[in-house]
Amino acid sequence: MYTAPFTYHAPTTLRAAVRLLRAHPGEARPLAGGMSLVPAMRLRLAQPEYLVDLGHIAELAGIEAVDGGIAIGAMTAHRDVERSRLLARRLPLLAHVAGTVGDRQVRNRGTLGGSLAHADPAADLPAAVLALEGVLHTAGAGRARRIPAHRFFLDPYTTALGESELLTRVVFPAQPRRTGWGYEKLENHASRFAVVGVAALVNVGRGGECTRVRIAVTGAGPVAYRARAAERALAGRPLTAQAIARAARAAGRGVEFLADAHGSAAYREHLVAVLSERALRAAIARTGVSL
């Protein structure tokens, strides 16, 4: 099916892109990789009158080491995140999660910023960005903003971005040495979206205790979230099988679980506990500690 008619723009600077979005409030949409937006337009679920393609703005793409961490341009394709040697060393969780998105063709074209700004409640990358405590940099009509990941996702397909505000890059703090990571998802086999996905990062002290833990969950509720109750249940404690299981059970606390054709609320609640335990165990194993 054809999309509704629209006018296509391909600005080459961020300023020009913001200007175009401001000129057509409510009618213009930024186009990143187009892996969600273009199919939605073909189904007429979205009918923007103007498309502002961000693919010609050089400063929006690329992965670089910056003071204290790593910066990734919003228009960096999943395939580049997946294959980056720098990320394999510094943010292996992110590289791995990018490799689980959709399929090969989608990863060739879809982008980190596009996935985050689209905020599909079942997308993989929000879980990784939350766990890694990414900070989302924006540009818009007003001043540029830096939004911590845990304040970015507000509702399904709804973020803290203003109407003519663009996500420009995501900056990740350096991870402590020997951070173990895990990402476990039960995927929808048709779309490869997560029915539920859990990302975990663990650091282990000399005495075998958990010195730091971050857990983030996607697919379970209306937005991806940090599972703070689960983190509190594990931080500072010896990494026993019991402690891990208790933390995993707390990962769904307070969540308004989604229910749809892919799983009931009770099923998702069960998945959060099971996948959290697996993600924690995978993360702990990667620190070199055996349980």
Contacts with another protein by CB under 8 A lie at 1-8, 10, 34-35, 38-39, 42-43, 51, 53, 55, 79, 102-106, 108-109, 190-192
We find the least distance from the C-beta atom of residue 245 to another protein, in angstroms, to be 30
Which residue number, 83 or 237, has a Cβ lying nearer to another protein? 83
Are 76 and 32 in contact by the 8 Å Cβ rule? The answer is no
3-state secondary structure at position 146:
strand
| Side-chain half-sphere CA neighbours of 88 within 13 A | 7
In whole angstroms, how close is the CB of 288 to another protein at the nearest point? 26
With respect to another protein, which residue has the nearer C-beta, 34 or 222? Answer: 34
Q: Which is nearer to another protein, 157 or 267 (CB)?
A: 157
Closer to another protein by Cβ: residue 35 or 233 = 35
Write down the least CB distance from residue 283 to another protein, Å: 23
The whole-angstrom separation of Cα 3 and Cα 229 is 44
* Minimum CB–partner distance for residue 8 and another protein (Å): 4
SS3 (DSSP) at 210: strand
Q: How do beta strands 135-139 and 146-148 pair?
A: antiparallel
Sign of CA dihedral 186, 114, 130, 82: positive
Which residues make Cβ contacts (< 8 Å) with residue 89, sequence separation at least 6?
A: none
CB atoms within 10 A of CB 159: 21
* Closer CB to another protein, 110 or 221, in the complex: 110
Tokens standing for residue 119: 């905020």
Q: How far is the CB of 73 from another protein (least distance, A)?
A: 18
